[in-house]
Each structure stands twice: as structure tokens, then as C-alpha cells.
Structure 1
Amino acid sequence: MHSSFLRYFDEVARQRSIRKAAQLLNVSSTSVNRKIISVEQRLGVSIFDRTPEGVELTAVGTILLEHCRTVLHDFERTKILIDDMRDLRTGHINIHTIDSMTMGCLPRAMNEFGKVYPDISISVTTSQPEDAVHAVASGTAEVGVAFTFSDQPGVRLLSEKSAPFGVILRPDHPLAGRTSVTIEDIATYRLVRTIDARGGNSIIDHAITTLVTPLSTHIFTNTLSLAKLMILSGHGIGLYTKIGFHDDIESGQLRFIPLIQEMLANIRVGIFVSATSSIDPAKRLMCDALAREMAGMRLDS
């Protein structure tokens, strides 16, 4: 991919001899010399001083050599990475994720990944956001998908996307025609919420601690598929991000109404890896597939 000049130049500088360099490179001295002269003519300066004993770098040659070796080094590293990706056949990726990602986004990313690397096994564990992040930080998981907050030590955020909370409801619900709602607007309706809301520990509960009127939660569940069925059946309206309901909203089966509440409107979901471990090719490819799926989702309207 790179000009043969880089290899020629580097070896001549090492050997301080065009003849010796040509022997090591298994090419003719004439070819090496012509390549160097051609570059010198294009630059308008000499990069070597010719002497009876061999060649010596000029000041310009010394500068050029530093750049040359950086390019060669980077290219070799890139070749190794490409070889690793090409030769990738087996392995395992452990993913810890919030439940909503398993409802469309993650399966599509896994399908994309599996087309290229069908023999790499994957395990997926759904968990609370803080548990997913902790699993990555502790080394239990290679990849984590969770809401992003300021204090998340031990992990590195690769990519993120805005995912504000809103109301999930049927198209025939009285609020379905609204462009936005407040917490007060939904306080009189029965809700479907995550199981951690029973103890007041959910993200929503932390955001509405000053609310005078308590929310009327009818169904608590840690399974988003059940929450979706209950909303579709008219048992209540959901308080969720759009992620796990994206396909149903796009098809018109459900509606998403943005919630006007500063903390809940600024929620973001991100892809995490360990801050101390390297990202191997399999992990990188899976994270890239996830990021592409997330980027293609409309989550804020």
C-alpha cells in the first residue's frame, strides 16, 4: 500500500550504504538509487550526502526519516489488526445490557456481526444500568450497554446516543395526540413501570422526588416484553425510553410522547468497555455494529 521508497529509504539509512541495503532488500542497487534520486528531485533537496564510504543523512533526510519510520510502524500495526480481523474465527463475547436493548437494537447488531463471524459465541445478560457498568469494570463482561452518568469509574465510553424518557401508550389513548406531557399530566393514569420503581429507586423516582401527587403504578415488571404487552392490552401507559418500543412505534402500534422533565429529557445510553483492557477485534466489531444500530434509531420524538 505504501511506496517502496519508504522501505528503501529506511534500510539505506540503517546500512549507510545503498549497495548493502539493496542486498538486504533483494533488489538492485540501481533501483534503490533511482528511487532516492527521484524523491530528492521532487523535494528539491538532498536527503543523503554521498561519500566514498557510503551515504550519510542530511538534515532534511533526518527529518524525513523520522516521518518515514512513523508511517512504517503505523502501517505494520494496522496490518496486524487487519490480519487479526481476517483470521478471526472463534471466540466469545459477554455482553451486559439494559433490557430495552434486547428488543430490537441488540439482536440486529448480533445478526450483522454473525454474518461475518458466525463461529464467535455471544452471551447476553440483562441487568440494571449500574450493574451492567459494574460488570464491565470488574471484567465480568467485555461490553456493556447502559445509561450514561457522570460517575462511572473503571469503564470507557465508546459511543452514546440521546434517549430521553417519555410516555408509551396506545394510539387511542386520550394523551396520544399530545406533542409532550408533564409528570402532572400523567399522574391520574395507571402506569406500567420497571420493578425498581416499587422501592423508589428508579431513574424516574430520583427525578421526581418533589412531586406532590404520587404516580399510580398498576404493573411493575423487570421484563420489557411483558410491559409492552400490558400497554398494548390497555392495562396502563409506560414510562420508558423509546429504545425497547422503537419498532412498535415506527409501525404505529404504539406512540411515544416526550416527557417534559429536565433530568429525564437528558438521559443518554452508551456502549462501555473496560478502561484498563484492550479492545480486541471481536469486541471492536460488536461495539461498532451496536453503535451503527443505535445511530439509526430515532429516540427523541
Structure 2
Amino acid sequence: MAAVYGAPFLSAFGSSMRIHSSALQYFDAVRRAGSIREAARRLNVASSAVNRQILKLEAEIGTPLFDRNPSGVTLTSAGEILAHHVIVVLQDLDRTSAEIEALKGARVGHVAIAAVESVCPALLPSVLGNLRERAPRITVNAKMMGSALIPEALESGLADVGIAFNLPRYPDLRQVYVASFKLGAIMAPDHLLAKREEVSFASCSDHPLVFAASDLSIHQLLAPVMRQANRSVEPIMRTNSIELMHQLALKKPVIAFQTPIGLEKLIAAGDLVHVPLVGPVWSDLGVYVRAGRSLPAPVDLFLQILTGELQERERFEHDRH
């Protein structure tokens, strides 16, 4: 299994049967790459061949599909309409290919994941290890991004599965599962507040704090808690890096805020503690797919394993509270 963290996604048709027009496949590659030259490089074909297919497709449709500019290409309104159709067609091709392989007794396919950074240390590796044991010929590509960017990755076909915190309702997404985890203060085990069962934000504000940047869901979750505490607090740092928050929280007396997801190894090693905040401050970690899509067997298997892992962690979290 090839699990590539942070690498570009593979083309949706890279491992599928090629039973559709090359023009549609080349169109999708250009849409993803944002340029004909880069699409040709990824496809390992000549740029002229890609351009020829795009021009042929535009002639058949009778309108430009891309606006050409010095930095690359962008979809026209007609291109946006065609893109929606092509995403559906090529994703359905993946499902068909996987079903045919299943008839041969093989579990073969590919799963593209868009996920928040905090699932990387423990949750995602555990899921991928389980997947590899059950279906070693399924390949995986994972890209880390903020929760706010994940809906677009799913809607555009860049990802099959999204794992994100506190997403609002999107009509084009289906929530497969959601697990709730308590937001808490994270700190060194010898911190003055580390032995408490719960801690208030007001108590934390007496110490140097690290805040999540506004593009992380933690920021929105913590905002009402800060307003209720009625204290004006200036953090020593704001960052969108979960790993940097971890490293800063290791240094007493600094405090950061997060759910236990992503802290499993640090907590088990005794390097950090997670003290829940007072009150019903829960964060929802959801699993999403594009609405209306018939899922290929490899994606469905991945979802089964992922939801099982989340259910186990959620039970442990609720038992604590």
C-alpha cells in the first residue's frame, strides 16, 4: 500500500480501466493541474497531445472550456458544468473497475483521503495498518489540509473521503460518521494545572497561551469559551500548525488547546497531558464523502475500518467524562 502524506493526489483515472474518451481524461487532468504543460507531465504524454484533445473537445461542445492565461488555465462556466459531469463519470469508473476486480476475487483499488493534521499521528496510521492487513493491494493517497478546504476537495473529486472537524452542513456532502471529543488544555505533566480533572479557561489565562489560527476549527470552538470567561488574553503565538502547538505545550508553563485526537502517543509517553475544559465544549470529527456517489468497494472498506476506529476512541473519550 502506498500511503503518501502531503503528496499530490494521483489522477482519478490513473489505475482505472480506460473505457472513456481520452479527451475527458485529459480534460480532467488539465482541470486538476491548472495548466496543460503540468497535466502532460503528470500523464507522461506530450503537451501537444493534451492540447489537441482539449481543442477537439471544445470544438465538439462549441464553446471554450478553459480561459488561457500566462500562468495557466482556469475553467470557464461551460468548463465548470463539464467538470461536474466528468468527476461523476470517472469516479463511477473507479467503482466499476473495483467491482470487476472483486469478481476475480481480488481486492484492488485506490482511496484518496483529505484529512486534518491531527489524525496523522495515531488514527490514520492505525486505520491504514488495518486496511493493509485486510487488503494489501488497495493503495492510499492522503493529503493534509484544514477542515475548511476539505469540502472542495471532495466536491472536485480530488478526494474520496474527507476527515474534518466541525464542518457546517454542505448539500453536496454526505456525513458517513461523526465522533465527539472534548476540547481541553494541553500542557507538560508537571504544569501547575496538570493534575486537575477539569480546568477553566480563566485559570489557563494566568499562563502563557498558544492559540489556533482562525483557519482551524479549534479557533471557532474556543471563541465562545473566551467570551464567557470575559478576559482579554493575548497569546504568545497563533499558529495553524498542530505539531507546533504540541512542541510549545511541552515547555512549561505554556498551554495550548486541542482535542485528544493527535495526542495519543504524547499522552501515552507521559510527555503531555490533556485536561478537559469546564463545560460542554465538544468538537465533532466527521467523515464525509460526496453526496449521491456510489462508493467503490475499496473506499467502502476504508470507511468501515475508519468508523470502527473512531467508535472505539469515542467510547473511551465518553467513558472519561
Q: How far does residue 128 in structure 1 lie from its aligned partner after superposition?
A: 1.7
AA partner of residue 88 (structure 1): R
Q: Which residue of 1 aligns with 2:154?
A: 136
Q: 1:94 pairs with 91, 112, 115, which one?
A: 112
Q: 2:247 pairs with 196, 204, 229, which one?
A: 229
State yes or no: 1:160 paired with 2:189.
no
Q: Are the structure 2 counterparts of residues 115 and 195 from structure 1 closer, same or farther at C-alpha, using a change threshold of 3 Å?
A: same
Aligned residues of 2:212 and 2:219 also touching (Cα < 8 A): no
Post-superposition CA distance 1:243-264 (Å, at most 9, x none): 01023223332211111243xx
Q: 2:129 pairs with 111, 120, 136, which one?
A: 111
Q: How far does residue 282 in structure 1 lie from its aligned partner after superposition?
A: 0.6
C-alpha separation between the residues in 1 aligned to 2:138 and 2:256?
36
Q: Which runs of 5+ in 1 are unaligned?
A: 1-79
Q: Are the structure 2 counterparts of residues 113 and 85 from structure 1 closer, same or farther at C-alpha, using a change threshold of 3 Å?
A: farther
Q: Which residue of 2 aligns with 1:196?
A: 214
C-alpha separation between the residues in 2 aligned to 1:259 and 1:178?
10
C-alpha separation between the residues in 2 aligned to 1:84 and 1:225?
43
Q: Are the structure 2 counterparts of residues 100 and 249 from structure 1 closer, same or farther at C-alpha, using a change threshold of 3 Å?
A: same
CA RMSD of aligned residues (A): 2.7
Aligned residues of 1:136 and 1:143 also touching (Cα < 8 A): yes
Identity %: 23
Aligned residues of 2:188 and 2:253 also touching (Cα < 8 A): no
C-alpha separation between the residues in 1 aligned to 2:188 and 2:174?
38
Q: Which residue of 2 aligns with 1:296?
A: 312
Question: What SS does structure 2 have at the residue aligned with 1:276?
Answer: coil
Post-superposition CA distance 1:170-218 (Å, at most 9, x none): 11101111111122121121122323279x9543225534543123422
Q: Are the structure 2 counterparts of residues 201 and 293 from structure 1 closer, same or farther at C-alpha, using a change threshold of 3 Å?
A: closer
Larger Rg: 1
Aligned residues of 2:200 and 2:277 also touching (Cα < 8 A): yes
Q: How far does residue 286 in structure 1 lie from its aligned partner after superposition?
A: 1.0
C-alpha separation between the residues in 2 aligned to 1:266 and 1:230?
23
Question: What SS does structure 2 have at the residue aligned with 1:215?
Answer: coil
Report which stretch shifted further, 122-131 or 204-213: 204-213
Q: Are the structure 2 counterparts of residues 201 and 170 from structure 1 closer, same or farther at C-alpha, using a change threshold of 3 Å?
A: closer
Question: What SS does structure 2 have at the residue aligned with 1:125?
Answer: strand
C-alpha separation between the residues in 1 aligned to 2:205 and 2:220?
16
State yes or no: 1:278 paired with 2:294.
yes
AA partner of residue 278 (structure 1): S
State yes or no: 1:267 paired with 2:283.
yes
C-alpha separation between the residues in 1 aligned to 2:273 and 2:100?
44
Report which stretch shifted further, 251-260 or 227-236: 227-236
How many residue pairs get aligned? The number is 218
Aligned residues of 2:101 and 2:107 also touching (Cα < 8 A): no
C-alpha separation between the residues in 2 aligned to 1:222 and 1:275?
29
C-alpha separation between the residues in 2 aligned to 1:207 and 1:130?
21
Q: 1:125 pairs with 143, 160, 164, which one?
A: 143
Aligned residues of 2:201 and 2:225 also touching (Cα < 8 A): no
Q: How far does residue 237 in structure 1 lie from its aligned partner after superposition?
A: 1.3
User: Structure 1 length as normaliser, TM-score?
Assistant: 0.64
Q: Are the structure 2 counterparts of residues 283 and 187 from structure 1 closer, same or farther at C-alpha, using a change threshold of 3 Å?
A: same
User: Structure 2 length as normaliser, TM-score?
Assistant: 0.61
